[in-house]
Amino acid sequence: MKMYAVLMAGGVGTRFWPRSRSRQPKQVLNIFDHQTLIQNTYQRLEGLVAPDRIFVVTNVVQKDLIAEQIPELKDENFILEPYGRNTAPCIGLAAVNLQQMEPDSVMVVLPADHLIQNVAEFQKVITYAANFVAEQDGLVTLGIHPDKPATGYGYIQRGEKVASFNDHDIYKVKTFAEKPNYDTAVRFLESGDFYWNSGMFIWKTSTILKEIEEKLPELSEGLEEIRKTIGTPEYEAKVENVYRRIRGISIDYGVMQTARQVFVIPTDMGWSDVGSWEEVYNIAPKDENKNAGDYHHLVQIASRENYVYAPGKVVALVGVRGIVVVDTGDALLVSKKSRTQEVKDVVEILKKNGLDEYI
């Protein structure tokens, strides 16, 4: 079995505005320590996947920035999209490129901007999943044991158990559920058979391409056009041409929710998709008043449970609770912590108003 890793790194992370911008996206931010999210993602593959089998799918604008972050990544290990078309085209483009290199390859697909604190558990589960799919034509995803009724994640419901390996089980997937409201999330948690959808996938390259052919024929036809030009001077122009024609769709909607052989491995690896400033606050170290963030000095009067990002500045909080303040010099965000999922709407408003220099 030859295992390859594909890091999806083309997004912007609009929920992390104003820190995340089109030329400084979320995955290259050092949100928790001196290492950036994509550096952490790359490093947790050490000893699991050979460096020459780690590929990054991104766009032309972000490629040089990521290359600076991971200097050991060779130029040929970048797979470039002309623009984003969601995860199904991203994964399909990576798959046709990998299949040309190694027809029997196993693909591990990972978002480049997630946090995983237990790397040993991550590597153990990926190894188990890769061995499983090497023996059969299944699609495997990782389900995270939920510890709260989160409304910001999609969920996966397990069905029958089909295999075990040491202390891990693998189940058929019964259903995928969209981000629920709070009451539904409570029911999911109480049922004991729902997991958070991690967005990490493991499958044989040939298997996912067959599924795309069956369920997304337009995309499959475009990928076949691209495959014929791999390694030729026509490749970049063909990718551009195909991407202009295909529709954007996620791998969850396009394939996973209707595929027959989909499996989930439940795991607890200290995972977070770091999907909002509220999630950053939840993970970050807190002071005695449960305030967190990055600043020169915080003066607080009767203020608790806030997140402040204002490096080098003195910040004063008076009588506030549960807010987020993010200051990048040219832009300032002030939000209720509970509403930071809506920050992406700020970016849309800026676009409509022609303020592209701030996005």
- pLDDT of the residue at 174: 97
Question: Are both 246 and 310 inside the same structural domain?
Answer: no
Number of domains within the chain: 2
Residue 12 has pLDDT above 90, yes or no: no
In this structure, the answer to whether residues 79 and 158 fall within a common structural domain is yes
The answer to whether residues 73 and 215 belong to one domain is: yes
Q: Is the predicted pLDDT of residue 125 greater than 90, yes or no?
A: yes
Are both 81 and 191 inside the same structural domain? yes
Average pLDDT score, the chain: 96
Domain shared by 34 and 140, yes or no: yes
Tens of pLDDT, residue by residue over 216-252, are 999 999 999 999 999 999 999 999 999 999 999 999 9
> Rounded distance, CA 308 to CA 292, Å?
6
User: Tell me, what CATH number does 96's domain have?
Assistant: 3.90.550.10
Is the pLDDT reported for residue 33 higher than 90? no
Q: What is the pLDDT of residue 167?
A: 87
| Residues 214 and 312 reside in one and the same domain | no
- How far is it, in rounded angstroms, from Cα 339 to Cα 323? 9
Q: Which long-range contacts (CB under 8 A, 24 or more apart) does 301-307 make?
A: 305/281, 305/337, 306/281, 306/337, 307/277, 307/278, 307/280, 307/281, 307/337
Considering the domain architecture, whether residues 153 and 295 belong to the same structural domain is answered as: no
Select from 215, 241, 272 the last residue of a domain: 272
Structure tokens at 322: 């549960």
Residues 194 and 338: their CA atoms lie apart, in Å, by 23
How much is the pLDDT for 73? Answer: 96
- In this prediction, residue 11 has a pLDDT band, given cuts at 50, 70 and 90, of confident
Last residue of a domain, one of 218, 253, 272: 272
Higher-confidence position of 354 and 137 = 354
pLDDT above 90 for 137: no
Show the CA angle centred on residue 235, arms to residues 39 and 217, nearest 5°: 90
pLDDT of residue 4: 98
Give the 3-state secondary structure of residue 104: coil
Q: What CA–CA distance (Å, rounded) separates 356 from 96?
A: 34
H helix and E strand count, the chain:
11, 15
Select the more confidently predicted residue: 32 or 271: 271
d(CA 8, CA 57): 5
| DSSP character at residue 19 | T
99 plus 206 within the same structural domain: yes
**Closest residue by Cα to residue 264 from 129, 196, 173:** 173
pLDDT (average), residues 43-60: 97
The confidence band for 309, taking pLDDT boundaries of 50, 70 and 90, is: very high
- How far is residue 179 CA from its own chain's centroid? 16
Share of the chain above pLDDT 70, in %: 100
The model's pLDDT over 63-110, given as tens digits with 9 standing for 90+, comes to: 999 999 999 999 999 999 999 999 999 999 999 999 999 999 999 999
Residue 287: CB atoms within 10 A of its CB come to: 11
Do 48 and 190 belong together in one domain? yes
Residues 194 and 124 in one domain: yes
pLDDT digits (tens, 9 = 90+) for 174-211: 999 999 999 999 999 999 999 999 999 999 999 999 99
Is residue 13 very low, low, confident or very high in pLDDT (cuts 50, 70, 90)? confident
The whole-number pLDDT of residue 289 equals: 98
Helix (H, G, I), strand (E, B) or coil at 98: helix
Residue 54 has pLDDT above 90, yes or no: yes
Last residue of a domain, one of 223, 249, 272: 272
Q: How many angstroms separate the CA atoms of 88 and 174, rounded?
A: 21
Within 8 A by CB and 6+ apart from 346, the residues are: 17, 333
The verdict on 225 and 290 lying in the same domain is no
Token look-up 């050092």 returns 30
CA distance 1 to 47: 15
> What residue numbers bound the domain in which 25 lies?
3-272
Same domain, 77 and 220: yes
Give the per-residue pLDDT at 61: 87
